[in-house]
Amino acid sequence: MVKTPKLRSPTGMHDILPADQSFFQKVYTTASSIANFYGFEKIDTPLVEDAELFVKSIGMSTDIIEKQMYVFRSKGGDLLALRPEFTAGIARAYIEHGMFNLPQPLKFYSFGPLFRLERPQAGRFRQFHQIDFEVFGEQSPVIDAQIIQIFYNLLRELKFKNLMVEINSIGDRQCRPYYKKLLVNYFRSRENSLCADCRRRLRYNPLRILDCKEEKCQPVKAQAPQIVDHLCLECKSHFKEVLEFLDEVELPYRLNPYLVRGLDYYTKTVFEIFDGSEEGQKGDALVGGGRFDALVRLLGGRNTPACGAAAGVERIIQVLKERSKKESAPPVQVKDVFLAQLGGLAKRKSLKLFEEFRRAKISSAESLSKDSLKTQLRSADKAGVRYALILGQREALEGTIIIRDMKTGKQETVKIEKVIKEIQKRLKR
């Protein structure tokens, strides 16, 4: 007999099991609360977009486009892609729906799944989730600082303590071309000391060499020219003001002259936020973002300054789960009543009564699928409920119900139509 192979989730994609749902909900609820305070509006874009959107915006020579994007042909022949990030889709929606005609700036936030075909590892998946905040139509450096502050506050709300902000400016179309020439000249003379990927990047996207994590490239990268020394006056002034705003709100940061981010649409400010250990070690980046003033124009819209960032939900949850193992388990919410029933008629009446408790906002539990009264009362005791409501065949026929105080064991029979008010009265004592 041939054994049927076990079906599993695709490599790098994971189920979010009930035990993890509370972590996701906590992160999303915190993000929504912060978005509401800062005046950001929710936007949802399709999981699938034209592949050209990402090729145009992210850049043909980036790792995302070259190696990681899920691309496929539809039956109609369209070349589509699963979204690898949020910004391009939101920029497309901004143009498509004529939102440049609305009073600017516009503030958007979104969260949900993204897809990248990369090597799965701890906290990194092929289907993953992010929280994204974007501001369109504002060129002031104060927005750069506020985006950083929003994500810093988000992580602080989630009880992250040892946060490290790294920040840099990568210039714009005025000053970056000259810097790229300097960079190419520097790395070309040391090409043999670079990894294979960086030798290829040298021809197509030299800035990405600064983002390389290969140990072989680190000594060469450390001596490379720094872009902050070659910024034009406008970019230098913009960056200086961003740092002054961060100083004003006393948000700690560290200048990283080799931080460039991995997407071509960034201009001027780029930043990342890390979870630093108590020993001062830098972990993985939890947040990354920056300014992308040329993106909307690149996609066919008007010249629109913009800034934004995204946080990796799985990486955040990984830290939250590790922390929860060390801390005592959070208290379980105790229900006020447990509805126990016995017999077909009692089960039908219990189903209706349970809905009445929901409408009355009385927290309730039940075991409608169980028939043994003893088993149900054992479940009520284990759950620590204050009152068990017992509805047997006799009570169902007589229109009554038994209220048992689970602490004292005392029981009282009341009319079923009065049980809601009776429980409300007891809960107020």
261 is annotated as contributing to ligand binding: yes
Through-space distance between the first and last CA atoms of the chain, rounded to whole angstroms: 67
Q: Binding residue per annotation — 272? A: no
Q: Is 116 annotated as a binding residue?
A: yes
**Token pair of 47 as six digits:** 């999981």
For the chain, give the secondary structure using H, E and C.
CCCCCCCCCCCCCCCCCHHHHHHHHHHHHHHHHHHHHHCCEECCCCCEEEHHHHHHHHCCCCHHHHHHCCEEECCCCCEEEECCCCHHHHHHHHHHCCHHHCCCCEEEEEEEEEECCCCCECCECCEEEEEEEEEECCCCHHHHHHHHHHHHHHHHHCCCCCEEEEEEECCCCCCHHHHHHHHHHHHHCCHHHCCHHHHHHHHHCHHHHHHCCCHHHHHHHHCCCCHHHHCCHHHHHHHHHHHHHHHHCCCCCEECCCCCCCCCCCEEEEEEEEEECCCCCEEEEEEEEEECCCHHHHCCCCCCCEEEEEEEHHHHHHHHHHHHHHCCCCCCCCCCEEEEECCHHHHHHHHHHHHHHHHCCCCEEECCCCCCHHHHHHHHHHHCCCEEEEECHHHHHHCEEEEEECCCCCEEEEEHHHHHHHHHHHHHC
Half-sphere exposure of 343 (CA within 13 A, CB side): 11
134 is known to lie in a ligand binding site: yes
93: tokens are 């929606």
Cα–Cα distance for residue pair 36/367, rounded to 1 Å:
39
For tokens 């780029």, the residue is 270
Q: Do the annotations mark residue 393 as ligand-binding?
A: no
> Is residue 28 annotated as involved in ligand binding?
no
Is 121 assigned a ligand-binding role in the annotation? Answer: no
- The reply, when asked if residue 92 is annotated as ligand binding, is no
Q: How far apart are CA 381 and CA 375, in angstroms?
A: 10
Q: Is 253 annotated as a binding residue?
A: no
Residues in the annotated binding site for L-histidine: 85-87, 116, 130, 134, 261, 265-266
Residues in the annotated binding site: 85-87, 116, 130, 134, 261, 265-266
